[in-house]
Amino acid sequence: MQAFTASRDASTADALWLCEHNATFTQGIAGKAEHVLMAGDIPVVTTNRGGQVTYHGPGQVVAYPLMDLQRLGYFVKEYVYRLEEAVIRTLAHYGVTGHRVAGAPGIYVRLDDPHSHAVLNQRPQQRQPGSPAPQPDFTGLGKIAALGIKVSRHFTYHGVALNVDMDLQPYQRINPCGYAGMATVDLSTIGIQTTWSEVAQVFGNQLITRLAP
């Protein structure tokens, strides 16, 4: 990703990489070592994306959109919104309702009823000028998709990871995204039986649609 981004110019076509990684912890550029509680036999890789520590492993679709935001005509905040919307639409394909949480990038589901459309109290809302950033509230929620990006010369890399059917135990070895005790789920643990390949196709199509100019 770094090599592709460093070498590209205004004429370079955008790309979307869909990957499945071996078990790996990745630490964001501002990541704190104390959020890795017990790495054990899983390597910790330092990256230059935003955010804190997260886990990648088999059964997770990792999407790396390598996009030219200047050509697309929108800014980083909208890019993040569109990435999250692609996750939400992918979950909706399986009858699951994905939620945004104020102050915490990524997508979450209700643990008691993943299919509920009821609006969260902790959803992002319009902030008044000068008001402090909201403190994330994960009450009753599990994180199903993590987001961490990097933008260099208006080119994006890194991306978003959607949990499909994983061994979730490694999340207990870290404070996911810097939050101690935050529950992490995948589609299989909330009752959705599918395959990595199927989710990758649905998610990839959603990303292509949502990231279009």
Whole-angstrom distance between the N-terminal and C-terminal Cα of the chain?
22
CB atoms inside a 10 Å sphere around CB 105: 19
CA dist 92 and 160 (Å) reads 17
Q: Which residue has the tokens 């292509």?
A: 208
Please name the amino acid found at residue 88. Answer: I
CA dist 52 and 38 (Å) reads 15
Three-state DSSP class for residue 26: strand
CB-based contact 54:177 (threshold 8 Å): yes
Q: Which residues are catalytic?
A: 177
The two tokens of residue 137 are: 């509230």
CA dist 197 and 147 (Å) reads 20
CA dist 50 and 169 (Å) reads 24
